[in-house]
Amino acid sequence: MKSITNTKPKLLELFAGSRSWGKIAEQLGYEVFSVDHKPFKGIDLVIDIESLTEEMLPWIPDVVIDGRPCTTFSMAAGRTHRLKPNFEPKTPFASKCDRMNIKLNDFYKKWDCIYYIENPRAMLRKMPYMKGMNRATVWYCKYGDIRAKPTDIFSNNIYDSFNLNGWKPRAICRNFKYDKETGEIIDKHCHHESARRGAKTGTQGLKGNYERSKVPKELCEDILIQTLQSVNNN
């Protein structure tokens, strides 16, 4: 990754929505540019992100937070959009997402930046263009949220023996066991809401993508604070 000499790292927030990341990043001293396809409060550039070019940005970012759409990769809707066994697109939106994701991945290589790609744990990890990326799975309940929401974070700044300054995710949730006959939860050890598929609790109980896409404050802080340390040690 490139060396960053500026005391105020430049962070690009893509698919920013409610700006869960951007608002905290600004508090921590980052310079933030937020992009979304809808004109939510605080968005700097409203555009279909597939059409994004470098010339539209105020600078080449040091850090990127990428909350790319999960719909075509999700457990709930993935079958509508993709064909097994190779998850090839079968809808125009799935094709669009693949084109956009490949384009963004190429940007990150070109920019030599720190990146974090956030997506609920599902089929994105199986896509050919994600192979070779380091990945960690976090559980929102471990970061103070009432939702479990296991989520994949793809990044080139995850802690390992070769990157001792990288971000280190918290332990995964080993929350409960199900009774195989009744489906009821037994031996529950976590505070998060039970939200089996089709339930009206957890993420499924929230209305609209704006609310569903909000990221726990503690997770944003953990990653952004550790990233500052990574930047300062480069």
Q: Indicate the domain borders of the chain.
A: 10-232
How is residue 145 written in tokens? 């949220």
Q: Containing H/E element for 98?
A: helix 92-111
pLDDT of residue 178: 55
CATH class of 10-232: alpha beta
Residue 202 has pLDDT above 50, yes or no: no
Question: pLDDT digits over 95-108, tens only?
Answer: 999 999 999 999 99
Residue 78 has pLDDT above 80, yes or no: no
pLDDT of residue 211: 77
Residue 190 has pLDDT above 80, yes or no: no
pLDDT of residue 171: 87
Question: pLDDT digits over 3-62, tens only?
Answer: 555 579 999 999 999 999 999 999 999 999 999 999 999 999 999 999 999 999 999 999
Longest dimension (CA), the chain: 59
Q: Which residue has the tokens 């310079």?
A: 31
Q: How far is CA 210 from CA 60, 71, 120, 154, in A?
A: 27, 13, 15, 22
Residues 61 and 11: beta-carbon distance below 8 Å: yes
Instruction: Report residue 117's pLDDT band, with 50, 70 and 90 as the boundaries.
Output: very high
Residue 179 has pLDDT above 80, yes or no: no
How is residue 175 written in tokens? 């929350």
pLDDT of residue 198: 52
Is 31 strand, coil or helix? strand
Q: How many CB atoms lie within 10 A of CB 220?
A: 21
Residues in the chain: 234
